Homo-oligomer: A and B are copies of this chain.
């Protein structure tokens, strides 16, 4: 059983994360497709959501370190990508290397007990989410990371020179959008299962 100190600490952490989430929604900085799922989890006393992404299609400027810390987004959408708009963005001056990426959702969810972490893992399994787990397990504070598996990642521009032609780029965007649709379906399925399994039975 969690001690009073652990319970108080959990309440505090949940409150702080809820404030961040609330601010992000208010300022239009939260990914729209993930808002209902996050709102639902945040409404439950035992759970909160931390920084999460609902999935995205991006053009990423990458330097020789190839890390996101030193990289910058050249195009980004959490919805379906426009080949026309992003191709136009590509024609602008860019840095060392540009990669085209479609990334699936990545959710960070906090909870107070291992039992509740297990309930979340069970929901993830039922939704067919194969990647993820409890990444932090302390008395009174468990953080889970859950990830979709859809993904595209390829270099498409090097030293301001395009490496691929427009036909291929449009093919990439079509595949990315197909994967984004599958990604949304899985997120929706997960939300539905969470509401069924964790929701109130009033």
Q: Choose from B137, B147, B154 the contact partner of A121 (Cβ within 8 Å).
A: B137
Q: Give complex CA distance A144, B121 in Å.
A: 13
Q: Choose from B131, B135, B153, B168 the contact partner of A151 (Cβ within 8 Å).
A: B153
Main secondary structure of the interface of A (DSSP, over half): strand
In the complex, the answer to whether B133 meets A135 with C-beta atoms within 8 Å is yes
Counting every copy of the chain, the complex holds: 2
Known A-B contacts A132-B133, A137-B114; the reply to A168 vs B164 at CB < 8 A is yes
| A171 at interface, CB cutoff 8 A | yes
In the complex, the answer to whether B154 meets A151 with C-beta atoms within 8 Å is no
Known A-B contacts A147-B131, A163-B168, A171-B163; the reply to A136 vs B121 at CB < 8 A is yes
When C-beta atoms are compared, the residue in chain B nearest to A147 turns out to be B131
Known A-B contacts A135-B121, A137-B121, A147-B131; the reply to A153 vs B155 at CB < 8 A is no
Q: Give complex CA distance A114, B132 in Å.
A: 17
| A193 at interface, CB cutoff 8 A | no
In the complex, the answer to whether A155 meets B133 with C-beta atoms within 8 Å is no
Interface residues of A (CB under 8 A from B): 114, 117-118, 121, 131-137, 144-145, 147, 151-155, 158, 163-164, 168, 171-172, 175
